[in-house]
Amino acid sequence: MKRDASSGHSPLTALVAGTLFGAGLAMGGMTDPARVRSFLDLFGDWDPTLAFVMGGAVLVMAIAWRIQPRMVEPLFADKFALPGTSDLTSRLVLGSALFGIGWGIAGLCPGPAIASLALRPSSAAIFVVAMIAGMTIARMFEKEA
């Protein structure tokens, strides 16, 4: 299968990884905005489910970060695409704050929102359209700067 020149991986690899990710989000209940909002409600009816889902992701990534330096090349790509910087910028802080506010209000973030399109398309579509609009507006301002 032909590889994407920008990422170095095949569309099939992206499809399999995205499907696995979406299934994990759905199985973990992360496509349910009420469950996510309950996690953020520390003084009310708190639901720790999200902490377990995040803990599982951290565990998998900790293992991957230990294995990766020993690998000559990735299994499903031409080269590793690792972050090159750890600079803490005002843009990163502002973007993180806006992301957190939107996540807290909607109970969805991009991954679960896209997965929710298959489960609850009417409610998720509004969020996904707004998310794409926000990304477009941010890119317009980025080009001006």
pTM score, two decimals?
0.68
pLDDT at site 122: 86
Q: How many residues does the chain have?
A: 145
Q: Tell me what pLDDT residue 97 has.
A: 92
Residue 117 makes CB contacts below 8 A (sequence gap 6+) with 124, 125, 128
Per-domain residue ranges for the chain? Answer: 11-144
Q: What is the mean pLDDT of each run of 10 residues along the chain (145 residues)?
A: 57 87 86 88 90 92 92 84 79 89 86 85 89 90 71
Round to whole Å and give the CA distance between 90 and 37.
27
Distance in Å from the first CA to the final CA of the chain: 39
Residue 111: the pLDDT is: 84
CA 118/CA 114 separation, integer angstroms:
8
**Residue 124: per-residue pLDDT:** 87
Write down the pLDDT at residue 62: 94
What pLDDT does 9 receive?
64
Nearest to 103 by CA among 45, 43, 54: 54
Structure tokens at 32: 């349910």
Question: How far is 51 from 28, CA to CA, in rounded Å?
Answer: 11
pLDDT (0 to 100) of residue 108: 86
